[in-house]
Structure 1
Amino acid sequence: MKTVSLIAALLVGLTAVPAAAAAADQLPAVACPDTIPAETTCYGGKDSNGAYYSIAVPRNWNGTLVLHAHGGPDLGAPTQERSVDDLKRWSVMVSEGYAWAGSSYRRGGYGTQMAILDTENLRAQFTRSFGKPKTTLLHGQSWGGNIAAKAAEQYKYDGVLLTNGVLAGATRGYNYRVDLRVVYQYYCGNHPRPTEPQYPLWMGLRKDSTMTSSGLRARLQECTGIESQPQERTAQQAQNLKDILAVTGVPERTLASHLNFATFTFRDIVHNRLGGRNPFTNLGVWYSGSHDDVALNLGVERFLADQSAVRDLSYDSDLTGEIKVPVLTMHAINDPTAFVEHESAYKASVTNAGKARYLVQTFTQESEHSSLSNSEYAAAVSALSTWVHTGRKPTPASIAAACPAFDEKYLKGCFFEPGFQPNSYESRVRPRIGAYGWPALTEFQAKIWQRFYPNVGIAP
């Protein structure tokens, strides 16, 4: 009974029965965003679970529904604007003749299974109102990529598109943010300050803290001068920033957002979803790249995960690779938020499950996370749709070759790099003890480790 209650706390009502069907003719019509093609009918509202939704059906609907899973997670209450903004961002799908539907999810905060159920509820609502689509494609962007990839292992879709997806799962997909949290505190010592109540850094932030994002950014500025011109930073700020970036591999332009996640989203995961239990570890990690790695490794905070928390977080979001339909991924090579090495983690999961025949991965020479070129989205969804309908598996080269025809319409550019293959996930994110083994340490590093952590066994 205890295990059941813990999982229930994590999912926060995810086992609720889908909302009762509303009459199709009562689906509320709303004005379409100005980015949507003319003669498109849009609908919006709120389901009985509290999730807002937006739906767009073009006049020339081709019979395929693109069901969208958005990223985040947002920590505030759900709003109609969330789903409307997503419709605006991916209006290219409607321009290409697809119907589109996206949910805000029923609440803010982490919860992959919650988001899957709300997405499924929206699919059922669409079917009640418009009939069953000839084809249903699931699209996930960012954290939505994790949601869509997990949903594809649990529900039946015709095809899945994952773009800039967080595909390593939460139990290891956020390890570089775990590292950022402890490395930042080692150098800055202001999160928390010595004069404030102390707490273990794995929880991101104490539950009752009133800190805001702007307050956190002020502390980051205080320590690193990140918002100042380089010549205006003090020598200590410049050294702190250099060390933090070098050790964590986080790009300077997204350092604040990564630290924000490692603070506020970690707090949500730990306190609101896991009942205060710790799902993260950094034991055995050797941090390198600083001006004094020995001092850093002796001084950085260490902690070991609660295995029940790892189990519950893994149940919620980790991927097995057990896919049964075509899955196409597209990822910016220089994505500063969900590093491209997430694709290597996903490929390994799918390959280990014996499902590699269902996966095609493409990469683009772009440097943004939240959205890619509309020309590329159009080419990708067309390739996926053709694969679903004909059984002809595309290649990165064939998708790249098809993109210029779509770019004649959207003029956003085609940046596919067909020959690119990312390095392993562990090449970018330091592995942890446990399922992925101890990292390889030099003899000197092992001696340092064993001297100061004699009760933790390690094989050099």
Structure 2
Amino acid sequence: MVALLAFGLAVVVLRAPWLSEPRAETTTAAISRSGRLGGASYLIEVPANWQGGLVVFAHGIQRGPGPGAVAAPPIASHILAGGHAWIASGYRAREYQPHLFIDDLIALRELFLKEVGRPRWTIIYGQSMGGHIVVASLELHPALYQGGLAECGLVDGISIADYLMAYTAAAELISGVPMLDAPDKETFARVLNERVVPALGMPGAYTARGRQFDSVVKYLMGADQVGNDLPLRLQGLKRRYLLNMMHRPRDLDNEPSPGLRAASTVHIRYRIDPGLGLTEEELNARVRRLQPAKDSRSPAANPVYAERTGRLKAPLITLHETGDAWVPLSLEQSYRRRTIAAGTDHLLVQRVMRASSHCGFDGETREQAFDDLLAWIERGVRPVGEDVLAPDLSRIGLKWTPTLQPEDPLALRRGLRSESCPRAFASIASRGASQRTSVISRSSATASCPSGIGAAKKRVSNRRGWISGVIQWAKYTSVSVARVRRSARSIAQNAR
């Protein structure tokens, strides 16, 4: 340990044990290498004068058959500029199979050790499905990784499948259409388009039943304890409203998808706002409960798809958007609860951006998270995060949101104060006093934190947003786009 004397106070910082080990020899020449390993393509990038740090990158889901395509981390240049190396695997397969991909990354790390050298520390960094890989790797292989960074990630593992099935089961109950009985994907898509959509409507043009369903989804995505909606949730839902509806195969024992096999809604406690004609008691008593296949979530038989334990042994920083309807903020909340129960919540720092996107973080946000994780690993400086379990989440994410979207509830309020958007105004305060007047006169602060009037001018119509989402779903499910357009326009006209 290291003792620091500052302002008369002794501050003790515990040094990570791996930093006491002999560090890797620095390389004098850069290395850029690609190849195939175990059926997976890979990339290895090492800067000149490598300082001994290694980042293992886990990309998100890719659709279709065959091996995946290798992707560089979004902050690849920042990693290299800091003197650190990175490696990435395309994985031997596609779709949702993190049990395979975890092993692919371990094998690639072993290749790096043989061909380049042993790193001083290894960080595992993942996006979306890569977040499942990050957290499962930290819990199941703690000796390999000294830190983790996950953005828009499936940090609570198989809970993503539970969320999507709970979403679908709620839509089935509230619409009155038994779509989970559909024998195949084609029938499911047809029933969804022809019966469920007319019964519920679409975001921005809901029926009375649709308003019930939207309230349920609000809580499934992570609404706070007092019922406040997450900022920009509805905007994010427009993109995923139909895509989140999941067909469930009848023969789970022979289903190849581990996510579908392991999905469960047995433990889901649904919530709904009062006054909508459906109580929580009725909802939870009547909704269909879906059981997982035998041993599909067993810690012994399928540890990657078992419920996460929260037993971290290394620092983890996560980034998440409030309006991400595909991978909702509720996964962050669930994993926070697990770490609290395990007594490891001091190793988890979570940051939130007010946005309707999925993995839409800017470079500065990502780079700051990486640098903060590095300082945490090397110097024991725990960075600042957010309380995703706070009773009131109406102002969540302001510290990490560079630009408020026009539809953001806070952007729509007139007279937004500077403290409401600290990142934008901090950049102004950091400049010299002689520059501040000219900076403010160019309205750079206002551009980052738009006023209610400016936001109103930029607002996109609800109808355009959800019609676009319908068309995306139609392309994904092979339903006639023309037929979907006709249904969408009919709903819009009836809602006027």
What TM-score, normalized by structure 2, do the two folds share? 0.57
Q: Kindly tell me: are residues 386 and 296 of structure 1, through their superposed partners in 2, closer, same or farther at Cα, counting changes over 3 Å? A: closer
Tell me the equivalent position of 2:380: 391
Q: Does 1:169 align with 2:161?
A: no
Query: Can you give the 5+ residue segments of structure 2 that lack an aligned partner in the other structure?
Result: 1-28, 222-232, 387-398, 401-421, 431-443, 450-496
Q: Secondary structure at the match of 2:246?
A: helix
2:319 corresponds to which letter in structure 1?
M
Q: 1:8-157 maps to which residues of 2 (within 5 A)?
A: 42-48=32-38, 50-59=39-48, 61-72=50-61, 74-79=62-67, 82-84=69-71, 86-87=72-73, 91-155=77-141, 156-157=144-145
Q: Does 1:243 align with 2:243?
A: no
How many aligned residue pairs are there? Answer: 348
Q: Kindly tell me: are residues 157 and 266 of structure 1, through their superposed partners in 2, closer, same or farther at Cα, counting changes over 3 Å? A: farther
Residue among 158, 165, 169 paired with 1:178 = 165
Q: Kindly tell me: are residues 278 and 346 of structure 1, through their superposed partners in 2, closer, same or farther at Cα, counting changes over 3 Å? A: closer
Query: Can you give the 5+ residue segments of structure 1 that lack an aligned partner in the other structure?
Result: 1-38, 193-197, 200-204, 416-460
Q: Kindly tell me: are residues 281 and 226 of structure 1, through their superposed partners in 2, closer, same or farther at Cα, counting changes over 3 Å? A: closer
The alpha-carbon deviation at position 148 of structure 1 amounts to 0.8
Q: Kindly tell me: are residues 218 and 102 of structure 1, through their superposed partners in 2, closer, same or farther at Cα, counting changes over 3 Å? A: farther
Q: Secondary structure at the match of 1:119?
A: helix
Q: 1:26-425 maps to which residues of 2 (within 5 A)?
A: 42-48=32-38, 50-59=39-48, 61-72=50-61, 74-79=62-67, 82-84=69-71, 86-87=72-73, 91-155=77-141, 156-170=144-158, 172-188=159-175, 192=179, 199=181, 206=183, 209=185, 226=202, 238-249=207-218, 251-252=233-234, 253-254=236-237, 257=240, 259-263=242-246, 271-273=255-257, 279-282=263-266, 285=269, 288-289=272-273, 291-293=276-278, 300-305=287-292, 308-311=295-298, 315-317=303-305, 318-396=307-385
1:54 corresponds to which letter in structure 2?
L
Q: Kindly tell me: are residues 183 and 348 of structure 1, through their superposed partners in 2, closer, same or farther at Cα, counting changes over 3 Å? A: closer
Q: Secondary structure at the match of 1:386?
A: helix
Q: Kindly tell me: are residues 124 and 394 of structure 1, through their superposed partners in 2, closer, same or farther at Cα, counting changes over 3 Å? A: same
2:146 corresponds to which letter in structure 1?
D
Q: Secondary structure at the match of 1:293?
A: coil
* Partners of 2:151 and 2:359 within 8 A in 1: no
The alpha-carbon deviation at position 92 of structure 1 amounts to 4.3
The alpha-carbon deviation at position 139 of structure 1 amounts to 0.8
Distance 1:286 1:396 in 2: 28
Q: Secondary structure at the match of 2:118?
A: coil
Q: Kindly tell me: are residues 131 and 219 of structure 1, through their superposed partners in 2, closer, same or farther at Cα, counting changes over 3 Å? A: farther
The alpha-carbon deviation at position 190 of structure 1 amounts to 6.6
The alpha-carbon deviation at position 326 of structure 1 amounts to 2.1
The alpha-carbon deviation at position 329 of structure 1 amounts to 2.4
The alpha-carbon deviation at position 68 of structure 1 amounts to 1.1
Distance 2:164 2:288 in 1: 14
Distance 2:156 2:66 in 1: 26
* Partners of 2:31 and 2:48 within 8 A in 1: yes
* Partners of 2:150 and 2:319 within 8 A in 1: yes
* Partners of 2:324 and 2:356 within 8 A in 1: yes
Distance 2:250 2:95 in 1: 10
Tell me the equivalent position of 2:466: none
The alpha-carbon deviation at position 128 of structure 1 amounts to 2.5
Q: Kindly tell me: are residues 332 and 389 of structure 1, through their superposed partners in 2, closer, same or farther at Cα, counting changes over 3 Å? A: same
Distance 2:244 2:32 in 1: 33
Query: Cα deviations across residues 301-346 of structure 1 (Å, max 9, x unaligned)?
Result: 3444456334268622332222222222233344333332323322
* Partners of 2:317 and 2:350 within 8 A in 1: yes
The alpha-carbon deviation at position 144 of structure 1 amounts to 1.5
Q: Secondary structure at the match of 2:295?
A: helix
Distance 1:148 1:366 in 2: 23
Q: Kindly tell me: are residues 122 and 357 of structure 1, through their superposed partners in 2, closer, same or farther at Cα, counting changes over 3 Å? A: same
Distance 1:212 1:95 in 2: 50
Distance 1:386 1:181 in 2: 42
Q: Secondary structure at the match of 1:319?
A: coil
* Partners of 2:376 and 2:382 within 8 A in 1: yes
Q: Kindly tell me: are residues 62 and 309 of structure 1, through their superposed partners in 2, closer, same or farther at Cα, counting changes over 3 Å? A: same
Q: Which has the larger radius of gyration?
A: 2
The alpha-carbon deviation at position 215 of structure 1 amounts to 10
The alpha-carbon deviation at position 127 of structure 1 amounts to 2.4
Measured on the aligned residues, the alpha-carbon RMSD in Å equals 4.3
Distance 1:129 1:213 in 2: 49
* Partners of 2:201 and 2:207 within 8 A in 1: yes
Distance 1:58 1:220 in 2: 54
Distance 1:347 1:414 in 2: 30
* Partners of 1:321 and 1:353 within 8 A in 2: yes
Distance 1:130 1:215 in 2: 55
Query: Cα deviations across residues 105-135 of structure 1 (Å, max 9, x unaligned)?
Result: 2222333322211111121222223222232
* Partners of 1:75 and 1:109 within 8 A in 2: yes
